[in-house]
């Protein structure tokens, strides 16, 4: 019987176990380990693992695939423990939200006879722990795969198979690209939500302000409810990428600040920025990839379809702005006036 070991039985580890059990893999035993015996017990009771072991060495004994689903900063310690515990040919993967540091740890700490293939399933939720786990957490989401140096092809295929078995879509990506992209679209949103909670709740007016904080505030700050330990580790292992995107956000926020400040005399500039952001988000939600369409219009359809898609008033303003933009570049006087 083949053994799969899952180290770390929180939200991700337990969800992976549940998804693997749901797939009814023949002749496969799933063994789990967590540093917290209570967490391990909950995962076992939920049916995510066939059994648990009180230490890592016992959990990975005879395992052909080891999945590390701990917070990122704990992965290095787990790799140290696995160095003398796994057999040659074992495939080790992780689920961490940063990849560059994890791959460096694996390169430094694992024997050559072991293949490390970095992984990052992009499913998640604000709640943490095995009670929040679901076998459907990864269905239809990208599963980033970042092979370590020297990883054997069959090891990579094993992790691809893991991703497909739990319903995810394998997505190969370079470690540095992964960390930069995640800093922008995953780590930065968490920090922005955290910043808003901090500045509002520390305001002298929060007592009264909290009474009128409703859907917009709740939706924006939702990510601030995510596991602080997980995001602390993300910041520690992806400082450069996160600081870069924080700087970019500060620039963008200052641009908006100036547009708002000058809106009394230049309201069209502010409106253009707001509509542009609305438009780009609509493209993303519609699955339109960059470069798929030419020109500023969205969607490329009749005026009637545009109005149906965005509403008549916004569609009219979009057309006006597009016409204004298309007029730029035409013959102008020496002073730059039409």
Domain ranges of the chain: 2-173, 174-261, 266-338
Q: What is the reported pTM?
A: 0.81
Residue 294: the pLDDT is 45
Under the banding of pLDDT at 50, 70 and 90, the label for residue 316 is low
Contacting residues for 241 by C-beta, under 8 A, at least 6 apart: 179, 180, 182, 183, 184, 187
Which alpha helices (DSSP H) does 53-152 contain, by range? 56-60, 72-82, 100-109
Backbone phi, psi, residue 273, to 5°? -65, -40
Q: What is the pLDDT of residues 101-154, one digit of tens each?
A: 999 999 999 999 999 999 999 988 878 899 999 999 999 999 999 999 889 999
Pairing of strands 142-147, 115-121: antiparallel
| Structural class in CATH, domain 174-261 | mainly alpha
Report the C-alpha gap between 131 and 50 in whole angstroms. Answer: 17
How far are the Cα atoms of 10, 18, 291 from residue 133, in angstroms, in the given order? Answer: 8, 8, 38
Domain covering 2-173, topology? Rossmann fold (3.40.50)
Under the banding of pLDDT at 50, 70 and 90, the label for residue 331 is very low
Q: What is the pLDDT of residues 62-109, one digit of tens each?
A: 999 999 999 999 999 999 999 999 999 999 999 999 999 999 999 999
Neighbours of 282 (CB within 10 A): 14
């Amino acid at each position: 019987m083949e053994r799969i070991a899952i180290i770390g039985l929180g939200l991700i580890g337990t969800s992976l176990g549940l998804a693997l059990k749901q797939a009814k893999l023949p002749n496969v035993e799933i063994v789990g380990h967590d540093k917290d015996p209570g967490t391990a017990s909950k995962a076992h009771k939920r049916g995510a693992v066939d059994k648990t072991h009180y230490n890592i060495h016992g959990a990975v004994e005879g395992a052909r695939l080891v999945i590390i689903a701990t917070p990122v900063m704990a992965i290095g310690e787990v790799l140290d423990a696995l160095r003398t515990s796994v057999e040659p040919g074992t495939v080790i993967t992780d689920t961490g939200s940063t990849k560059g540091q994890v791959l460096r740890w694996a390169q430094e700490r694992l024997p050559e006879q072991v293949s490390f293939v970095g992984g990052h399933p992009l499913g998640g939720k604000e709640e943490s722990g095995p009670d929040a786990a679901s076998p459907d957490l990864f269905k239809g989401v990208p599963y980033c795969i970042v092979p370590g140096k020297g990883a054997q092809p069959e090891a990579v295929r094993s992790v691809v198979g893991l991703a497909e078995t739990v319903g995810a879509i394998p997505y190969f990506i370079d470690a540095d690209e992964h960390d930069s992209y995640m800093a922008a679209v995953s780590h930065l949103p968490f920090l922005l939500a955290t910043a808003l909670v901090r500045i509002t709740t520390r305001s002298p007016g929060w007592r009264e302000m909290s009474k009128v904080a409703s859907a917009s505030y709740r939706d924006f700050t939702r990510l601030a409810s995510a596991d602080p330990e997980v995001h602390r580790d993300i910041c520690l292992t992806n400082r450069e990428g996160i600081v870069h995107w924080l700087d970019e956000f500060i620039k963008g926020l200052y641009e908006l600040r100036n547009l708002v400040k000058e809106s009394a005399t230049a309201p069209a500039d502010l409106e253009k920025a707001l509509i542009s952001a609305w438009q780009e988000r609509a493209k993303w939600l519609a699955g339109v990839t960059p470069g798929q369409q030419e020109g500023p219009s969205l969607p490329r359809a009749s005026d009637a379809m545009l109005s149906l898609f965005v509403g008549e008033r916004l569609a009219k303003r979009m057309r006006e702005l597009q016409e204004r933009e298309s007029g730029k570049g035409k013959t102008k006087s020496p002073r730059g006036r039409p």
